[in-house]
Amino acid sequence: MMELGLDITDAQLKEMEAHLYDIDFKYAAEEEKKTRHDVMAHVHTFAVDLIIIRDGLDILLPKLASSIQRLAQFAEQYKAQPTLGFTHLQPAQLTTVGKRACLWIQDLLMDERAINRVRGDLRFRGVKGTTGTQASFLQLFNGDSLKVKKLDKIVTEMAGFERSFVISGQTYTRKVDVEVLSALGSLGASIHKICSDIRLLANMKELEEPFESTQIGSSAMPYKRNPMRSERCCSIARHLITLTSNAMNTAANQWMERTLDDSANRRMTLAEGFLSADSILVTLQNICEGLVVYPKVIERHIKQELPFMSTENVIMAMVKAGGDRQECHEQVRVLSHQAGAVVKQQGLDNDLVERIKKTPYFAPILPILDSLLDPNTFTGRAPEQVMKLLMAICCL
């Protein structure tokens, strides 16, 4: 305003600059008590939400990138480690430990893209006045519309924004909050899924989050190694996810040019959204830095299930050796049911392979039977897929 000719002194500007980063919560409380207007109390303590949102996103993005980087290193290390895949939480065809981690990475990459887009789309409200018409500023400059537009541009640039909204009511559109919290809520969903997978794998003793030598897993059961970090992430992520609907309800209830019922709500919702996202990102990074894999446990689980999955390979090998497909199918079906009964009814290991070896009908393929059961032949292009995704990350 001073630059554009209004009567403002250097001393006034220096006083404002000296208190730029002061947040006097006691004074804000006193202002609200005096004015009975929480927004004015907020204004009097010198804060601007869009700047806070922008800076908050700038804090979160590097932390998200760090988690992606840690998971990428983990995925490359275990890109070829076969492991049971699960659909419906039931054993399915094999995948690899690294490939599963890439499912997590891919979701986080989508979150990084969404948050970056929100960050790039942010506009400043600028100087628009009480209902967005800039009428009061037009009066300040005696009807000089060019000076009003220049003031809007200068303030926007000084606040660190390239663009401002052309149209606004008394506030910037609350759709901005919807976009911001939708991106953060989506990140919460991704981290919840990742940490839920880790918790399930910890139950099977195939994978564990970091566990300190002096850490206590349970107050009552000393032997336990509960995945407490992952549980914490899931807990806070669930809260973060719910905040998206809150932002949508606020935007939906923004009557005309503005109502006041958004103010207290937004100060909780935005703050909790960013704090929740920051908390789970910091914890996720810690988890990803110290994930522990137990290949021997994974191999034992594969051995329990792979014989059933390999039956198609056995049938095809017998057909190539001159056997009848239908006859072979019946032989395998009978032996599979017998082995399944041993597992389910007696609680013993899967002995299908031993039954096949003891059945004279399968003599023609016994020399290649072990190769038919090699877990590495059941993972398809998983290692290649891992490397392709990781190469794509390097190009970002």
Res 39: pLDDT: 53
Cross-strand pairs, 83 = 95
The predicted pLDDT at position 121 comes to: 87
Task: Write the CB contacts of 169 (distance below 8 Å, at least 6 apart in sequence).
Answer: 131, 132, 254, 256, 257, 258
Residue 108 pLDDT greater than 90, yes or no? yes
Q: Per-residue pLDDT for 41 more than 50?
A: no
- Is the same domain home to 325 and 370? yes
Of 66 and 308, which is predicted with more confidence?
66
Residue of 218, 245, 337, 371 marked active site: 218
pLDDT band at 102 (very low <50, low <70, confident <90, very high): very high
Alpha-carbon span 168 to 257, nearest angstrom:
8
At 47, the pLDDT band (50, 70, 90 cuts) reads very low
pLDDT digits (tens, 9 = 90+) for 239-274: 999 999 998 898 888 888 888 877 788 888 999 999
Supply the CATH number for residue 388's domain: 1.10.40.30
Where residue 44 falls among pLDDT bands split at 50, 70, 90? very low
168 is catalytic: no
197 plus 143 within the same structural domain = yes
The yes-or-no verdict on residue 31 having pLDDT over 80 is no
Q: CB burial class (10 A; 0-12, 13-18, 19+) of residue 87?
A: exposed
Residues 99 and 43 in one domain: no
Q: Verify that 229 and 266 share a domain, yes or no.
A: yes
**What was the pLDDT predicted at 7?**
85
More confident residue, 100 or 125: 100
Q: With cut-offs at 50, 70 and 90, classify the pLDDT of residue 304.
A: confident
What is the number of structural domains in the chain? 3
Angle ∠(221,225,231) on CA atoms, nearest 5: 110
For 161, list phi and psi in degrees, rounded to 5.
-110, 145
Gap between the Cα atoms of 317 and 79, Å rounded? 28
Question: What is the average per-residue pLDDT within 363-371?
Answer: 88
Q: Let me know: does 112 contact 395? Beta carbons within 8 Å.
A: no
Least confident segment among 94-103, 170-179, 215-224: 215-224
- Whole-number mean pLDDT of the chain? 87
- CA–CA dist 257, 255 (Å, integer): 6
Q: How confident is the model at residue 223 (pLDDT cuts 50, 70, 90)?
A: low
pLDDT band per the 50, 70, 90 thresholds, residue 204? very high
Statement: residue 120 has pLDDT above 70? yes
Residue 321 parent element (H or E): none
Q: Are 206 and 252 in contact (CB under 8 A)?
A: no
- On whether both 173 and 312 belong to a single domain, the answer is no
Distance from the first to the final alpha carbon of the chain:
42
Closest among 376, 377, 336, 329 to 356, alpha carbons compared? 336
The CATH number covering residue 140 comes to 1.20.200.10
- CA-to-CA distance for 242 and 178, rounded, in angstroms? 12
> Cα separation of 229 and 236, whole Å?
11
> Looking at residues 315-344, what average pLDDT do you find?
89
Known catalytic residue: 218? Answer: yes
277 and 302 in a common domain: no
Give yes or no for residue 119 having a pLDDT over 90: yes
pLDDT at 35 over 80: no
Same domain, 25 and 53: no
3-class secondary structure, 293? strand
**Model confidence over 137-150: pLDDT tens digits?**
888 888 889 988 88
Residues 75 and 117 grouped into a single domain:
yes
Residues 333, 241 within the same domain: no
Do 303 and 367 belong together in one domain? yes
Region of 160 please: left (phi>0), alpha (psi -120 to 50) or beta.
Answer: left
- Secondary-structure breakdown of the chain: helix, strand, coil percentages, each rounded to the nearest 5: 70, 5, 25
Residue-range definition of the domain harbouring residue 343: 297-394
Residue 303: band (very low, low, confident or very high) from pLDDT cuts 50, 70, 90: confident
What is the CATH number for 20? Answer: 1.10.275.10
- The reply to whether 333 and 235 lie within a common domain is no
Do 14 and 34 reside in the same domain of the chain? yes
